[in-house]
Amino acid sequence: MNRDFRQIRLEGVTRRFSDAGRAAFNAVSGLTLTIERGEFIALLGPSGCGKSTALNLVAGLLPLSDGSIWLDDERIDALPPEKRGFGMVFQNYALFPHMSVVRNIDFGLRMRGMPAAEIRRRVADVLKMVQLIGQENKLPGQLSGGQQQRVAIARAIVIQPPLVLMDEPLSNLDAKLRLETRSEIRRIHRDLARTTIYVTHDQEEALSLADRIIVMIDGVVQQIGTPQEVYSQPANLAVATFMGYRNLLELDVERSDGERVTLTGPDVRLTGTRKLPLPDGRAWVAMRPEEMMVGDGAGSANTIAVRVDAVEYCGRDSLLDLRTASGHRLHVRATGDYAAGTQVHVHVPVERALVYPQA
Amino acid sequence: MADRVAAVPRALLDRTMAPMVPATLFMVLLFIYPFLYGLLLSFTPQHGDWLANYRKFFTADNLWPTIWTTMRLALPVTLINVGLALPIAFKMRSKTRYQRFVTTVLVIPVSLGTVMIAEGMLTYFGPKGWLAQIVGVLHLYDGRIHLTHNYWGVMISLVISGFPFAFLLILSYITGIDPALARAAATLGAGRSAQFRHIYLPLLAPGLAMCFCLAFVQSFTVFPSAVLLGAPAGPTRVISIAAYEAAFEQYDYSLASAIAMVMGFVQLLVITVVLASRSLFYRGPAVGGKG
């Protein structure tokens, strides 16, 4: 396998599943993407969106129904997984239960027929990198979840693959270990600069690790962008909903002036920002709970009168469950004491109220 | 000190032990008692001292060779059954369109008794059977086909009746192995045969040993097909036939018990060797993580 590649290209990668008696559906549909060498790509989406399928297609564990995968000028989608030489970290680790830590890690090197001295040197290096010195001869069953995870990562990177694939590697760890392993993965990626595709449903993981995020919903790529772009400028309503824009109001378009749009409802009048062309009639406003504030906006613009329905105390702040007079529900993060039943005002900056056409 | 003495009977009468009673009774009445009875019986021969039966077995020319006669059948049959079942079960491990059909066809012989199989084989493989006639009509082979009333007849019938057990057993072991392990091995550069050698085979080894033991015991105790399909006076005079003759033709229950004890001991020996080799292999769960 060519290790001095410049880029990996996915062109119209599609995977159709057809169960007997049911209509065929596309688990992954027309995935087109160019990954530069050394990049960390996160494939982000809700469960069942096809992101793991996409990873298996790249790994060669599933055949493509359509499209092609290229490593520079070499077409690789017909190669079996053992010929692609991509390192993969599985969600349940898939460590070989009958082999010691060292045997698990050096498995890929042994399969390549590498000389024993070189194997020892590489395994020693990688053991140091994932901090597993002293655990060499234990079986996977004798390790904690976090240690197993590190063996899985070591096993995938020791073969120095052109591409590392990670399938929700942190989802089986507890909250504390997840944070630690996340920084570990970031450190390893910084040290080795290995091109990585990382599948996750956790937006925080994707935002903190990736150079670029690919948001996938229902097998279709919705947005490709930097973490900042995906977080603050979701491409469409579906991405916004997934990225935590919990406050969604369907309103009438009153006036449109460039990117500025003013919308009205029975007891709401909001000015927001749009990225997509809007048809006349109705549109959606999407707002994050943490980007709305309690109180009046400047000149009472973008202010909504609401009643506090419930208060969820979260430590650093509280999540307020609010309702407008006409019954629209809103969620706002706020510090301070609020009692259920009180009337308050909330407001949102014009540039943080994102307006989308109907899905 | 007094407390300690009192603690023992209380532990024995622990209520949680109650569900054990039926199984224990069952074992005692139907296994331990008959076994001990037979063992004692074998040491009280009709003539001679207490070891006379065993001395007779290991000196009489029509008795001790039955061990080898039986072994000559049971070992190859066991190897064939386990050896055939392993690759077929491996092929059938993932759900395919044909999996259910093939599995059903392979398992059907389980529902047939040995006598039924023997009857069928006599009609099919006999000198005037379908097979001989078809081969004769097509002039594929002009000699006589001898597949019944000899070693091969017994062997074929033992494969027919024993294969489904080996197959089902191995299939259940194979499907218990997390397929992600083979996928992980593939991404690390292992082709199909390397995946089988490094992942499936070591994880299956303890199960194969168990399967070997069960298949061996099943064929070592062969009786009906050795009589119906074999040559019970000669090449297929297996050890159970010797025991049967002693008991029901010579009415020497004591000698018959001794033969049965020898038979049990030989089986125990083979099983011990095979199961002891299991300790060389990993025997934990065959999944690779917290899954």
pLDDT digits (tens, 9 = 90+) for A8-34: 999 999 999 887 666 788 899 999 999
Task: Please give the pLDDT value at position B108.
Answer: 85
Which CA distances in Å does A86 have to A13, A97, A161, A263, B145?
A: 18, 22, 5, 50, 57
**Residue B3 pLDDT > 70, yes or no?**
no
Only one residue has tokens 């008795």, namely B63
Asked if A94 and B290 come within 8 Å (Cβ–Cβ), the reply is no
pTM of the model: 0.83
For the domain made up of B61-280, the CATH class stated in words is: mainly alpha
**Amino acid letter, residue A90:** F
Asked if A93 and B289 come within 8 Å (Cβ–Cβ), the reply is yes
Tell me how crowded residue A281 is: count the other CB atoms within 10 A of its CB: 9
Asked if A92 and B189 come within 8 Å (Cβ–Cβ), the reply is no
Residue A300 DSSP symbol: G
Q: Is B177 on the interface with A (CB under 8 A)?
A: no
Task: Please give the pLDDT value at position B8.
Answer: 55
CA B219 – CA B237 distance, rounded (Å): 14
**When comparing pLDDT for B109 and A288, which is higher?**
A288
The ranges assigned to domains in chain B are 61-280
**Residue B291 pLDDT > 50, yes or no?**
no
Task: Please give the pLDDT value at position B270.
Answer: 94
Interface-testing mutation among B181, B183, B188, B203, with chain A (most A C-beta atoms within 10 A): B188
Asked if B187 and A145 come within 8 Å (Cβ–Cβ), the reply is no
In percent, the amount of chain B with pLDDT more than 90 equals 59
Task: Please give the pLDDT value at position A276.
Answer: 87
Which residues touch A269 (CB under 8 Å, ≥6 apart)?
A254, A262, A263
**Residue B288 pLDDT > 80, yes or no?**
no
CA B165 – CA B84 distance, rounded (Å): 12
Task: Please give the pLDDT value at position A355.
Answer: 95
Interface-testing mutation among A99, A106, A107, with chain B (most B C-beta atoms within 10 A): A107
* Cβ–Cβ < 8 Å for A347, A293: yes
Query: How many Cα atoms are found within 13 Å in the side-chain-facing hemisphere of B214?
Result: 16
Task: Please give the pLDDT value at position B152.
Answer: 92
Only one residue has tokens 């997840």, namely A178
* Cβ–Cβ < 8 Å for A52, A167: yes
Q: Report residues of chain A scoring pLDDT below 50.
A: 1-2
Task: Please give the pLDDT value at position B147.
Answer: 86
The dihedral built from the CA positions of residue A103, A108, A112 and A115, taken in this order, carries a sign that is negative
Of A60, A85, A92, the CB nearest to B288: A92
CA B196 – CA B185 distance, rounded (Å): 10
User: Over the range A229-244, which residues count as b (16 or more CB within 10 Å of their CB) and which as e?
Assistant: ebbebbbbbbbbbbbe
**Residue B266 pLDDT > 80, yes or no?**
yes
Which CA distances in Å does B245 have to A87, B48, B70, B81, B235?
A: 66, 20, 16, 29, 16
Task: Please give the pLDDT value at position B289.
Answer: 61
Asked if B286 and A97 come within 8 Å (Cβ–Cβ), the reply is yes
CA A191 – CA A175 distance, rounded (Å): 25
Of B180, B191, B285, the CB nearest to A92: B180
Of B183, B203, B288, the CB nearest to A140: B288
Domains of chain A with CATH codes: 7-237 (3.40.50.300), 249-356 (2.40.50.140)
Q: Is B180 on the interface with A (CB under 8 A)?
A: yes
Task: Please give the pLDDT value at position B255.
Answer: 94
CA A63 – CA A311 distance, rounded (Å): 50
CA A213 – CA B104 distance, rounded (Å): 49
Asked if B180 and A94 come within 8 Å (Cβ–Cβ), the reply is yes
Residue A344 burial (CB < 10 Å; 0-12/13-18/19+)? Answer: middle
Task: Please give the pLDDT value at position B2.
Answer: 47
Chain A, window 159-198: residues with a beta carbon less than 8 angstroms from a chain B beta carbon: 159, 165, 172
* Cβ–Cβ < 8 Å for A331, A289: yes
φ, ψ for residue A106, nearest 5 deg: -85, 5
Shortest CA gap B182–chain A (Å)? 9
Q: How far is CA A25 from the centre of its chain?
A: 23
CA A215 – CA A217 distance, rounded (Å): 7
Task: Please give the pLDDT value at position A3.
Answer: 61
* Cβ–Cβ < 8 Å for A164, A156: yes
